Structure 1
């Protein structure tokens, strides 16, 4: 089945999601956006105990139930300690290179609801002061947050209400260029969440139904490994929608839909993967089949948790994953098209 995604809807929602802080474990605000979008489309919404969103779309035939997942949680950090000089020591949430967040603006989210801004720096941030500033190792113990408040010591910071365990989000800075490129932090995996909503919006606007019942899991702990360790009952197949990586020994481009044949958890289902490849070819969707040895998905978590399912993995191609990411809008739209073809065939 061919559909025409509502491109402006998808991009507008994507920017809205990107502008909403949501490191793993701190996703209530972004899940509220998911709830509001689901309600606007009259899609039933519920949540699991971890706070992830579950959306359902009834199909023509209930003999099979297909789960489609994407994750709305992102990389981030937490306050590990308040330093004596008034900066914050951090502990990472998710896996990223420390040099990828150096000099980035961030927000500190206190448990009282107060939000402060800051900048992430190494503790030797100036070549005019530190002779080893260039070589100083960028590792967690050497990174700190400079708070945008007049603080000189630990006591000053504590008076602000900042404490150990507060979440730190990285400013995403989303930009959609005139050439159709989308650059931002956290395209992993908010680009896929937007693609899923493109599928739901198309079903409502164009009045089509999937062949089988669909359950959408918008997970909120994928970046720390257990986003879809639990999935709703009765699922036969699962498609994880997550970004496709780019680099050495990989074919994927920013304009492609990535179809992953194998990742760190092992091969994905042969028949499902083959069907996705065949559909992409039939619809002339630019795509690449790749293997990601340093990658895991929500489907990986579900399989490792022992769920009796078949699983596949697709998503828009993203350059510089877990750093300053970039994709092309057509990769996102075509992810929606390929999903629609799979579920409506």
Structure 2
């Protein structure tokens, strides 16, 4: 068997981690032959709860799990890790503005960026789940200058999963038959869920979703709005933010990053923008990507119509504003 891979999960006593840790530890993310050592980071007041999580992981009797390291010390948490799930953050509560969330969380990601820079492996793959994820990932990368910016990503896979579930429900097909829906921009209500490139496999053939759903109003209004506002709808119903679905999406994101995307399939990831599709540079922007040998690549040459360009402009503008606000908070 391979050498154990060290993986850190922050906010490890929280709800998302409670679902995520089992998915990771049983081999669904890094492979069925990859032993793991889990580093679990949380704040001091959560250490008793975290001990209960450690007990449960032991009681799962998972063959790949070689050790579990619970800690409230970032040095211990980030030492020699090859993958980082940065889940821990103040969750968005009902009625909370994104700027309030940004102020609460941006300093956390500065500290974690510094710890990653000093103690993690230099090829560590970092996934930021804690919101506002795109800007948190940008700040984290800023304070880890010796780690490539390409190694810091934000999670928009949850939005892609939501989009594909909405399309599957509309078409009355299993969700596994739908792929290549794209999420552009920010993981916020300005994101652009785009069905233009989505396909459905049925009866042995691959068809474009927009050829089957010849209803522009549904595509540009009902579908778009339902995906954009799905997180808020979950909060309204549960009185808490998405946890189980966020954990599944984080696992999907990291699995594809480590093991590669399926040929012909594109996924959405928040990655450092190079200005592709006339988006702002040097923000973490969600693009359609493919992954080979652990390296993501933005899918180029997709046709983007006038409506789509306006949506990309709006979400890009929000990301620039968030970046400016975050840097003010950090420098204050």
TM-score of the two chains, using structure 1 as the length reference: 0.31
More helix by share: 2
Relative contact order, higher structure (CA 8 A, sep 6+): 1
Instruction: Give the number of the structure whose alpha-carbon radius of gyration is greater.
Output: 1
TM-score of the two chains, using structure 2 as the length reference: 0.32
More strand by share: 1
